[in-house]
Amino acid sequence: MRPFKYDRAKKSNDATKMVASNKNAKFLAGGTNIVDLMKENVERPDALVDVNNLELKQIKSMGSNISIGALAKNKDTANHPLIKQNFPLLTQAILSGASAQIRNMATNGGNLNQRTRCVYFYDTATPCNKREPGTGCGAAEGLNRMHAIFGYSDKCVATHPSDMCIALAALDAVVHVEDEKGNKRKILFGAYHRLPGDTPEKDNNLKHGELITSIEIPKNKFANNSYYLKVRDRASYAFALVSVATGLEIKNGIIRKSRIAMGGVAHKPWRAMIAEKELIGKKPSQKLFERAAKMEMERAKPLEHNKYKVTLGERAIVRALKMASA
């Protein structure tokens, strides 16, 4: 690990100022991703600003919406009564990720900004445009079993590794951020993470020095009909090959509103909007789910080693919809 200066910030504004004034500085939250990447020499900040003492840990109702603090732990978020009762989908998604120890340490803000698990990104001996722009992409023609089937570019075929973010995408969350001048802005979840395009080094639309302060989730009627399905190489403690977060609003036996977001298939949480639309105004049925899933997955463009994700994705959508509507 390279040497770095360590500072503890007492106020949000101190933290954003410290990071904004040094282009090689980074925020440190739970550390479960950045410390690991620093040990691998993938992240090389020369200063870390510890934000754990900031008052950004509350989970509370805000009018008809619920706000979760950027520094609330993943564990506390998943177990909060407001979340369990209103958004069990989020609870499930968080709990499907990592391990108990890691969820006790990981924060919500850090979870949004965790970086890809692409093995070439981690291995500094191989080319990677995300790690070293312009060096090429090791995965495009390499071992890409874990990689994207939607929305990738010739520069990068990585996937976003988070489970929590897949649920947040299905829940139409809004990310609240603040810069060093105290300017605040809100970013719709769908516009927070990026597709790789020509700048895969950028995972999201946060500016350097901008701090996530909270994540707002609008109230919805999905609580009784939602499900997070995660498919992975082993039963627990592994990243998703494919995951599906789904929420349905069913009234008098008819689907009124639907959300389907997928993990493990793209550089950002992937909204399956074609499938979502196909469900509206119809009665839940195996046939309908199969048709909707097929329509969505037909557009996938698998790489050499991940063709299985197309079939898997189709079946995962069907299974998640069945679980949610049961």
Partner 1 sequence: MKELNEGFESYDLVMHEDEMFLCEELTEDEEKLLDELGIHGASRRKFLGQVGAAGFGMLAMQVLAQQDTLAAEGLVDLTKSEPVSIENAVNVNMRINGVRKSLKVDSRMTLLDALRERLGLTGSKKGCDHGQCGACTVHVDGERHLSCLTLAATCEDKDIKTIEGIGDEKNLHPMQAAFVKYDAFQCGYCTPGQICSAVALLDEAKKGEVSYETENISAKTRPVQLSDDEIRERMSGNLCRCGAYPNILKAIKEVHTGKAVAQTWNFSERLDDIAENYEQEDANDETV
Ligand X SMILES: Cc1cc2nc3c(=O)[nH]c(=O)nc-3n(C[C@H](O)[C@H](O)[C@H](O)COP(=O)(O)OP(=O)(O)OC[C@H]3O[C@@H](n4cnc5c(N)ncnc54)[C@H](O)[C@@H]3O)c2cc1C
Q: How would you list the strands of the sheet with 270-271, edge to edge?
A: 226-231, 242-251, 254-263, 270-271
Number of residues that bind ligand SF4 (CB under 6 A): 14
Q: Does 136 bind ligand X (CB under 6 A)?
A: no
Which part of the chain contacts partner 1 (CB under 8 A), choosing from 82-90, 129-137, 140-148, 256-264? 82-90
* CB under 8 A, 24+ apart: contacts of 234-242: 236/99, 237/98, 237/99, 239/117, 239/146, 239/161, 239/264, 240/96, 240/161, 240/163, 240/264, 241/146, 241/309, 241/312, 242/309, 242/312, 242/313, 242/316
Residue 266 Cβ, how far from ligand SF4 at the closest point, in Å? 12
Q: Are 147 and 159 in contact (CB under 8 A)?
A: yes
Which of partner 1, ligand SF4, ligand X, none interacts with 130 (beta carbon under 5 to 8 A by kind)?
A: ligand SF4
Q: Does 107 bind ligand X (CB under 6 A)?
A: yes
Q: Which of 86, 114, 116, 226 binds ligand X (CB under 6 A)?
A: 114
Which residue bears the tokens 């992937």?
Answer: 270
Which of ligand X, ligand SF4, partner 1, none interacts with 207 (beta carbon under 5 to 8 A by kind)?
A: none
Footprint of ligand X (CB under 6 A): 26-34, 36, 51, 70, 74, 97-98, 102, 105-107, 109-111, 113-114, 161-164, 211-212, 239
Footprint of partner 1 (CB under 8 A): 1, 3-6, 8, 28, 31-32, 35-36, 38-39, 48, 50, 52, 75, 78-79, 81, 84-85, 88, 91-92, 95-96, 98-102, 104-105, 223, 235-237
